[in-house]
């Protein structure tokens, strides 16, 4: 599952540049029975199967032996903290991350003793943690210095400052009756910056007002937001 997405696009280029190294460890290879079982029924009964501790512990020992350390160990789990841009920024500071991808009904509770972080991709359930881990890796890798062609790209993206990104346009200036806002073509960088900040606040207010509850806005931004709210209220 990892061989495709983790070798393409920005992530693949980071690997090619030597900025990033990705290793996949299949914990099924560390089982101690001939059928390579990694799951078993839960004590006390219940639906589904649980991942047994032995294959995971032995796989982690292997990671530590080959990599020198486990680094920060992230357990993909619906009970974990929600994955956000802030979490990705925190992960991007680490030299080594290890993601444990669950499967089946869940984990034997003792596996949690291996981890430093429990993280959830969202309030829904996937068939396994592999896709969630790839999403987290992708979001984290793009924040590593020199991974993106332009180091100013990531700081301007949605969620990087707690707000949604402003609308953007490219050529042609007019397409099917819709024109690019004149302010973006007048060359006045101060007016452009002001327009972008206003429209970022507007889009956040329109689509994700919940983000504004926690956004750390400056006094000037709060004044702009009040103007935006007045405009939206008047229609």
Residue 210 annotated as binding? no
Among residues 5, 42, 53, 78, the one annotated as catalytic is 78
Assigned token pair, 39: 């799951």
Q: Is 104 annotated as a binding residue?
A: no
Q: Rounded to an integer, what distance in angstroms lies between the CA atom of residue 199 and that of residue 167?
A: 7
Asked whether residue 18 is marked as a ligand-binding residue, the answer is no
Catalytic residue among 157, 165, 194, 196: 157
Question: What does the alpha-carbon distance between residue 118 and residue 80 come to, in Å, rounded to a whole number?
Answer: 4
- Tell whether 21 is in a known binding site: no
Is 32 annotated to bind ligand?
Answer: no
* Residue 50: its H or E element: strand 50-51
Cα–Cα dist 97/138, whole Å:
13
DSSP output for 116-177: SEEEESSSS--SBSHHHHHHHHHHHHTTSTTSSSSTTTGGGSTTTTSSPPPP---S-SEETT
Q: Is 90 a catalytic residue?
A: no
Q: Three-class SS of residue 30?
A: helix
- Catalytic residue of the set 55, 142, 198, 202: 142
- Annotation says 105 is catalytic: yes
**Cα gap 67→35, rounded to integer Å:** 28
Among the options 58, 105, 117, 138, which is catalytic?
105
Whether 126 has a binding-site annotation, put simply, is yes
- Find out whether 122 is annotated in a ligand binding site: yes
Show which residues are catalytic: 78, 105, 142, 157
**Annotated binding residues:** 102, 121-126
**Annotated binding residues for S-adenosyl-L-methionine:** 102, 121-126
């Amino acid at each position: 599952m990892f061989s495709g997405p983790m070798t393409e696009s920005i992530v693949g280029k980071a690997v090619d540049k030597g900025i990033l190294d990705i290793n996949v460890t299949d914990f099924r290879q560390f089982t101690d029975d001939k059928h390579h079982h990694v799951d078993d029924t839960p004590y006390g009964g219940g639906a589904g199967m649980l991942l047994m501790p032995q294959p995971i512990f032995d796989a982690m020992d292997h990671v530590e032996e080959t990599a020198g350390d486990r680094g920060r160990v992230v357990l993909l789990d619906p009970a974990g903290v929600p994955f956000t841009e802030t979490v990705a920024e925190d992960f991007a500071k680490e030299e080594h991350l290890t993601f444990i991808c669950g499967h089946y009904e869940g984990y034997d509770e003792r596996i949690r003793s291996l981890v430093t972080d429990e993280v959830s991709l969202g309030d829904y359930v996937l068939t396994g943690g592999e896709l969630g881990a790839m999403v987290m890796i992708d979001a984290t890798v793009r924040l590593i210095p020199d991974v993106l062609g332009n180091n100013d790209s990531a700081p301007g993206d949605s969620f990087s400052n707690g707000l949604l990104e402003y609308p953007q346009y490219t050529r042609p200036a007019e397409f099917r009756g819709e024109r690019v806002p004149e302010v973006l073509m007048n060359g006045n960088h101060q007016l452009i910056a002001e327009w972008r900040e206003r429209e970022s606040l507007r889009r956040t207010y329109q689509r994700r007002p919940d983000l504004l509850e926690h956004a750390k806005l400056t006094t000037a931004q709060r004044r702009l937001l009040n103007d935006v709210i007045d405009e939206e209220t008047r229609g």
